[in-house]
């Protein structure tokens, strides 16, 4: 499964404004909830519940908030870029800039894990992360992800 099999251009936010974990999640949820046809507040609740189990800030400037919703038909993925960086309680204590938000149906553990693994793999490449950080807008972010997605 490729990232762009799931990520729609409309779900890319190129300049997140919030400086708090909950605020970032609330921003990321807006296009994802709209695409999925789910209640944004419910999605925020699910993601914040997951964060209480342990931060999805995996370090190196990356956060991958994720959760499962029972009334969801298929995987939904969003992307956000915080140019200033935010304290996302990452394991390395560093500010988080690059976010992928993943929401899956309750019964799709296999796909959920495959997509998380793919995202984690490509985000280990520093040149890819640098290109994302310096992208001018959502269209450029989409193109950068598309190019990287083809290589894997």
* Runs of H (alpha helix) within 54-136: 109-122, 126-133
102 three-class SS: strand
Q: Which of 66, 97, 112, 134 is catalytic?
A: 66
Beta strands in 4-137 (DSSP E): 7-13, 57-59, 62-63, 66-69, 76-86, 96-105
Backbone angles phi, psi at 85, to 5 degrees: 90, 155
Asked if 134 is an active-site residue, the reply is: no
Alpha carbon distances (Å) from 122 to 49, 62, 69: 26, 11, 26
Distance CA 8, CA 79 (A): 9
State the catalytic residues. Answer: 66
């Amino acid at each position: 499964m490729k990232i762009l099999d799931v990520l729609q251009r409309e779900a890319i936010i190129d300049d997140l404004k919030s400086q708090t974990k909950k605020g970032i999640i609330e921003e990321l949820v807006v296009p994802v909830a709209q695409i999925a046809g789910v209640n944004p507040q419910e999605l925020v609740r699910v993601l914040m519940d997951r964060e209480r189990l342990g931060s999805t800030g995996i370090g190196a400037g990356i956060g991958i908030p994720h959760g499962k919703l029972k009334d969801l038909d298929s995987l939904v993925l969003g992307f956000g870029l915080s140019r200033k960086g935010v304290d996302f309680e990452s394991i390395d204590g560093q500010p988080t800039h690059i976010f992928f938000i993943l929401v899956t149906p309750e019964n799709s553990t296999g796909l959920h894990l495959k997509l998380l693994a793919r995202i984690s793999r490509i985000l280990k490449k520093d040149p890819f992360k640098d290109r994302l950080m310096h992208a001018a807008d959502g269209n450029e972010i989409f193109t950068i992800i598309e190019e990287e997605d083809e290589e894997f």
